[in-house]
Chain A
């Protein structure tokens, strides 16, 4: 099953994101098909490659759930209409600095 989020055009740079089944943590699909909690590890894809990556992710449901494509900038950072939501998913709630992933060493500087 895949989460329903806003549709993105084929040329828009994107990554596959999901949740880790065991912990519920936000994860991103890497080039090797593994999953990382660090957005900078994610593979940026467009067009058919994005469709293939999402299809592969959907079958990986022992490890992750509800994968979907999210928009990123050319440099791989969070971008687009859902920037705030995806920034919060990537870094943690804005209201608890102690829970910020960068503070906890989860996100590479």
Chain B
């Protein structure tokens, strides 16, 4: 994993001290809230419904065990004992007092963490595939490039006053787990005909009130030209992106209104016009230096199969099921990728207690080369676990309430904090998720339904990614009452699509029975048990499912 050099360390330490002074001046009344607000937002401090919220960056979702322990410590000492994984692989603490935040930032600086680029109209935390560096599906590890983008974008003066916030995601696997087509820029690592590694550049994706799937404006940009090309995109956006209306200021609006072909021409012209002196020289030695931090850990040479693993599965059916649902193939023989579900039935999706953080840190230290990943689907990952160790990992997770076997199943719901916390929300989202989890709690039923992604947002800003849920749920306010609009057919993978609204909104209590009818219809009409809900929807169209949704009316 990447480690700070002395300059990085000094910068985050100084940043914490600067904020300490700013907070002191605010608390003494020496600066007004209008003066202070941009300063706190630049340090990830938002004001929510009944407390401040601190959002901390987890670069490309990769964490060390000691960093997770620091989160646990912060949760215990400064919050109410838990944290919340966000849909951009970050963590939020929902109850931190302003007066304590300088101390929190200081503690974070001690483990090479901060809250920079978690708010404001800048390039935010670059996100990636949570299986990066572990899956055999990828052509390269995308994380060195995420780190290079992070270093290029942080404090870059040209990007400190963008029309709106800007989000970049990178993947190197054909199966997209990073939702790159619904980001401002999505980068898909590819090889060209000469076998060189580079990037497909996808621009203009996004969710919010005007969702768009991104479009490819360049099939291949070489590694040595990536930053120059990104800079060309950013310059076109900076020049032509709207600043008069925040709802039309994202790059997706510019790309859509300009037209993808014309936008691509503008970028190419900007790229060509860059003078030699402007070019970002990224020496191979620097790429190699950063890549070295992401070198594969010291894997043991092991056989493909593990007799200990097979024996444990034979004697413990619950373990066998968990292993089938929550683990994925690793590139290294004898190892596995473990997804730790943070979606236990009936609990707020993405919330993790300080004790669970400590347990996860223990497991990472003992079994996964100290590495942990946070997913944009609000789960955790131990990326490198030996098959021989899976049973002990499972038993430890089970004891900590972290062994829910539902990865990618109907109860693995993405959910924003909603009106229970968020100052922007129109409706609650967590209680709807909890009711749906309770409705579909039966594990055999979940298995039978198979992969199905439900995503819930409490307002049109779409932090819960409802636009790209196979079934999306959007909370709306209708004269003071909560209603929920259902969408079908969204997806955030390599076939990214925006879901279509099924019809009138439903009351909260009507959502679970309505979705039960939809699921029963799916089970009735699927061509075979392995046909997923999203595939049946695409094969049959939405009408049968809409009829089922409203069948009670």
A-side interface residues toward B, CB under 8 Å? Answer: 1, 19, 21-26, 61-62, 65-66, 80-85, 88-89, 92-96, 98-99
Contact = CB atoms under 8 A, between A and B. Distances in A.
B32 interface: yes
Interface stretch (B137-145, B292-300, B427-435): B427-435
A88 B480 contact: no
A24 B32 contact: no
A61 to B, nearest CB: 5
B50 interface: yes
Contacts of A99: 80, 95
Contacts of B428: 84, 94-95
8 contacts: A21-B33, A24-B47, A82-B480, A84-B428, A84-B480, A85-B49, A93-B420, A95-B430
Nearest to A90: B50
Nearest to B28: A62
Contact of A89 (B50, B80, B99, B480): B50
Interface of B: 26-29, 32-34, 47-52, 80, 95, 97-99, 348, 419-421, 428, 430-431, 434, 479-480, 482
Contacts of A89: 49-50
Nearest to B426: A85
A66 B419 contact: no
B98 A84 contact: no
Contacts of B99: 22-23
B420 A88 contact: yes
A88 B419 contact: yes
Nearest to B30: A62
Contacts of A92: 50
A22 B97 contact: yes
B421 A93 contact: yes
Contacts of B32: 1, 61
Contacts of A80: 480
A21 to B, nearest CB: 7
A1 B36 CA distance: 12
Contacts of A81: 479-480
A94 B292 CA distance: 47
Contacts of B80: 96, 98-99
A17 B48 CA distance: 14
A94 B348 CA distance: 11
B458 to A, nearest CB: 11
B49 A88 contact: yes
Contacts of A88: 49-50, 419-420
